[in-house]
Amino acid sequence: MRIAIIGTGYVGLVAGAGLSDFGNDVVCVDVDEERIAQLRRGVIPIHEPGLDVLVKRNLEAKRLRFSTSTVESVATAEVVIIAVGTPTREDSGAADLRYIEAAARDIGKGLTGHAVVVTKSTVPVGTADRVRSWIAAETSHEFSVASNPEFLKEGDAVNDFMKPSRVILGVDDERAGKRLRSMYEPFVRTNNRILMMDVRSAELSKYAANAMLATRISFMNELSLLAEKVGADIEKVRKGVGSDPRIGPKFLFPGPGYGGSCFPKDTRALIHTADEFGAKVGIVEAVVQANQRQKRVLGERVSSHFGGDLNGKRIAIWGLAFKPETDDIREAPSLVLIDALLAGGATVVGCDPVAIENTKREIGDRIEYTIDMYEAAKGADALIVVTEWHQFRRPDFARLKDLMAQPVLFDGRNIWPSDELRQQGYSYYGIGRPMA
């Protein structure tokens, strides 16, 4: 099948690589010329495990191409996938659809015959109708519009895309349904799980899924603060709750608050949609508030350990990315923590295996950086783990103690053995764990 993908970011590039690997003829388009130039040379602009191999293989096989022109790329496409960003609008919290509109209009200009245009970007209910009108304003050719929300997670995106737990297709006409089913069937040979529904239900499903996952996290984060007050250990509570098969163990880990390119913006957009339609999603509003509170917890804890005065203190942070195995720092809890520490007068050194470049782009030289985790801890008055990269899980604590100016640990992910560390003479603070 001839497929054009508009937007070559985390979603578009993974989708392009995956679809071409199954034999399709795929062109990935982006307005970012530098990104496209890199990709043509086989340089992958994002960190995503396994993606480099997949891109290289399909580039070499000439099943995958890169372009900066949507108009040219959609001319012969049977399916056009929109995978551009839908960030939050600064003025309202709604999803900003300007990139979707630009892509849709270019698609309209380029169509030379019937194509199925499918939105993979996360978009508010009703966006398909707007996409249809933006395209129709530019073409007299026939086309179908469909919705295909993406559920991959960064850090394991290739696996998720190649073996999806389900594929949701929102379609209003038979031709689109048939073509998209045929495109996805090779991906779901084992579980055969393609869920066909109307477009609006598909659009809402994506927000519902992200809001549900964010709810689980915020719920546990709130409970972790309660656990501290009542002298319970949230880690034991988590295991107790998660072993109930009706609940399950995933997304119950307390931590420094959720970040990333999806949960924060999608929960905000869902609240905005509900407002627009005169409905209320009070639970989601509470989830967002709880998360904002949670992102401040680590900073407040560090400040209170040092009696409210961080002047002259050197604080090391392990983990800048919003989660392991990605270089994405969008809305990462590390950024809120860094702001708080700097505002308190501390010097901050950040360590991350792949997210330093992106962090530098965002906050420049307001902090020091190193890729070496022990170097970061050298002379530090406190060490905070914010992202649970594998290498941070079992460091050499004796070595760390020698390197640090003061043996003070803040475990934002509850990955370290609290009792052992206290025995070794560390001050240890987790999230929702007994304080001493």
Which of 19, 26, 211, 262 binds ligand NAD (CB under 6 A)? It is 262
Residues 103-142 that bind ligand NAD (CB under 6 A): 103, 121-122
* Residue 290: C-alpha distances to residues 7, 218, 435 (Å): 32, 6, 21
Site for ligand NAD contains 102 (CB under 6 A)? yes
Q: Please tell me the distance from the alpha carbon of residue 156 to that of residue 39, in angstroms, as a whole number.
A: 20
**Of residues 24 and 121, the one with the C-beta less far from ligand NAD:** 121
**Of residues 139 and 406, the one with the C-beta less far from ligand NAD:** 139
Which of 32, 285, 339, 375 binds ligand NAD (CB under 6 A)? It is 32
Q: For the chain, how many residues are written? A: 436
Binding segment for ligand NAD (CB under 6 A), chosen from 1-9, 132-140, 332-340, 421-429, is 1-9
DSSP-based helix, strand, coil % in the chain, nearest 5:
45, 15, 40
Query: Six-digit token pair at 299?
Result: 């900073």
Q: Which residues are identified as catalytic? A: 262
Q: Which of 409, 414, 407 is nearest to 431 (CA)?
A: 414
Q: Which residue is nearest to ligand NAD (CB)?
A: 9
Site for ligand NAD contains 74 (CB under 6 A)? no
Q: Please tell me the distance from the alpha carbon of residue 5 to that of residue 27, in angstroms, as a whole number.
A: 6
Beta bridge partners of 109: none
Kindly state the smallest distance separating residue 432's Cβ from ligand NAD, in Å. Answer: 27
Binding mask 172-211 for ligand NAD (x = CB under 6 A): ----------------------------------------
Binding segment for ligand NAD (CB under 6 A), chosen from 97-105, 110-118, 163-171, 223-231, is 97-105
Residue 211: strand, helix, or coil: helix
Kindly state the smallest distance separating residue 84's Cβ from ligand NAD, in Å. Answer: 4
**Of residues 70 and 359, the one with the C-beta less far from ligand NAD:** 70
Kindly state the smallest distance separating residue 82's Cβ from ligand NAD, in Å. Answer: 9
**Of residues 35 and 238, the one with the C-beta less far from ligand NAD:** 35
Strand 368-370 to 143-147 pairing: unpaired
**Of residues 30 and 222, the one with the C-beta less far from ligand NAD:** 30
Strand 194-197 to 167-170 pairing: parallel
Kindly state the smallest distance separating residue 379's Cβ from ligand NAD, in Å. Answer: 36
**Of residues 255 and 430, the one with the C-beta less far from ligand NAD:** 255
Q: Please tell me the distance from the alpha carbon of residue 280 to that of residue 270, in angstroms, as a whole number.
A: 10
Q: Please tell me the distance from the alpha carbon of residue 36 to that of residue 367, in angstroms, as a whole number.
A: 31
Using an 8 Å Cβ cutoff, are 181 and 196 in contact?
yes
Which of 31, 44, 196, 342 binds ligand NAD (CB under 6 A)? It is 31
Rounded to 10 degrees, the C-alpha dihedral 297/299/304/306 comes to 150
Using an 8 Å Cβ cutoff, are 329 and 321 in contact?
yes
Kindly state the smallest distance separating residue 372's Cβ from ligand NAD, in Å. Answer: 28
Q: Please tell me the distance from the alpha carbon of residue 377 to that of residue 406, in angstroms, as a whole number.
A: 10
Kindly state the smallest distance separating residue 171's Cβ from ligand NAD, in Å. Answer: 19
Kindly state the smallest distance separating residue 4's Cβ from ligand NAD, in Å. Answer: 10
Q: What is the three-state SS of 72-128? A: HHCCCCCEEEECCCCCECCCCCCECCHHHHHHHHHHHHHCCCCEEEEECCCCCCCHH
**Of residues 152 and 400, the one with the C-beta less far from ligand NAD:** 152
Q: Which of 248, 240, 256 is nearest to 213 (CA)?
A: 248
Kindly state the smallest distance separating residue 352's Cβ from ligand NAD, in Å. Answer: 18
Binding segment for ligand NAD (CB under 6 A), chosen from 18-26, 82-90, 187-195, 415-423, is 82-90
* CA-based radius of gyration for the chain: 23
Q: Which of 410, 213, 193, 388 is nearest to 300 (CA)?
A: 410
Which of 5, 29, 211, 227 binds ligand NAD (CB under 6 A)? It is 29
Using an 8 Å Cβ cutoff, are 107 and 70 in contact?
yes
Q: In this structure, what DSSP letter does residue 229 have?
A: H
**Of residues 246 and 250, the one with the C-beta less far from ligand NAD:** 250
Binding mask 283-302 for ligand NAD (x = CB under 6 A): --------------------
Using an 8 Å Cβ cutoff, are 30 and 55 in contact?
no
Site for ligand NAD contains 52 (CB under 6 A)? no
Site for ligand NAD contains 161 (CB under 6 A)? no
Total number of residues binding ligand NAD (CB under 6 A)? Answer: 28
Contact positions vs ligand NAD (CB under 6 A): 6-12, 29-32, 35, 70, 83-86, 99, 102-103, 121-122, 150, 152-154, 261-262
